[in-house]
Amino acid sequence: MIVGRFPSSRPRRLRRNENIRRLVRETKLTLDDLIYPIFVRFGENIVEEVPSMPGVYRYSVDKVVDAVKEVRDLGIPAIILFGIPEHKDEVGSDTWSEEGIIQRALRKIKREVPDIYVITDVCFCEYTSHGHCGVLHEQDVDNDLTLENLKKQVVSHAENGADMVAPSGMMDGMVKAIREALDDAGFKHIPIMAYSAKFASAFYGPFREAAQSAPAFGDRRTYQMDPANSREALKEVFMDIEEGADVVMVKPALAYLDVISKVKENVLVPVCAYNVSGEYSLIKAAGKMGWIDEKKVMWETLLSIKRAGADMIITYFAKDVAQMINRGEV
């Protein structure tokens, strides 16, 4: 590559005003990139803010439609649902119950806001009494028994209106099991967004409060990925694509921009990145203290995730970003 030398080459020529900066801008963040997470909980007439996540709320089923309509009206194309049931058990049976929290929310949302695209998180940690992501055997998650329950969960979600399912438990073979279950039940059209490279991260703390999903003992390092590994992330991604994943995900985003970039360079399916709760709350806290310009740091953060290669971003900032875009502030 031949690069011009100063003084004949002056990169500042293309930075002189906002119009030329817009014309040469390489990366653009738009409404089309955004997915907004929504927490649905048991009870009635409830809209409660998550203490560690300012601006993020848990909604009862009767209130969730108002939240979804707000997202739709801002121009955000999709939401991803997380459920908090009233009753938990050893296997998380609420996840496949016809009257489960997600099933009830799906029916109401698809009836009253049919034009929003609804993705469902597919896991068990919010629904089990022990807080782990599947069926336990000797204090660890039994991979293959958990796959059987995942099949029931995804079919139930599809039957109640899910547009896409997103398995997040990092079970080996989960995409294959889910694809077969959906196909056998007549849902060949339902895509799978796999949490393919989900790391055992310390950035999930606020989410665990929001979803009431902290493990009762131990941690999730036997099934979530070691934060030190990036080649293994590619292995996980390749396996999920071979098993039938339509979209692959890297989670978290900020500390794993290199992984997002590697995945993007090596696959032909869309890549999603999850801008997780800890990343959100750190910016919110620093902004509240006046240490940073919250809006500018939020925008720069999401732009970096897009620049790294994400085709879509799950972010708690989605509504804030949409408002900025709609007001023409960026």
Is-catalytic flag, 251?
yes
Given 63, 88, 108, 251, the catalytic residue: 251
Is-catalytic flag, 306?
no
Distance CA 308, CA 262 (A): 9
Distances (CA, A) of 27 to 4, 250, 301, 302, 318: 23, 19, 13, 11, 17
- Residue 272 main-chain phi, psi, to 5 deg: -105, 145
DSSP string, 214-250: --SSS-STTTSBPTT-SHHHHHHHHHHHHHT-SEEEE
Other CB atoms closer than 10 Å to residue 245's CB: what's the count? Answer: 27
DSSP state of 204: G
Asked if residue 80 lies in contact with residue 38, where contact means CB atoms within 8 angstroms, the answer is: yes
Given 88, 108, 151, 198, the catalytic residue: 198
- Give the chain's largest Cα–Cα span: 70
Q: What b/e sequence results for 32-43 when a residue is b if at least 16 CB atoms lie within 10 Å of its CB, and e otherwise?
A: ebbbbbbbbbbe
Asked if residue 319 lies in contact with residue 76, where contact means CB atoms within 8 angstroms, the answer is: yes
Nearby residues of 22 by Cβ (< 8 Å), 6 or more positions away: none
Extract the tokens encoding 255. Answer: 């500390």
Asked if residue 241 lies in contact with residue 316, where contact means CB atoms within 8 angstroms, the answer is: no
Asked if residue 129 lies in contact with residue 216, where contact means CB atoms within 8 angstroms, the answer is: yes
Positions marked catalytic: 198, 251
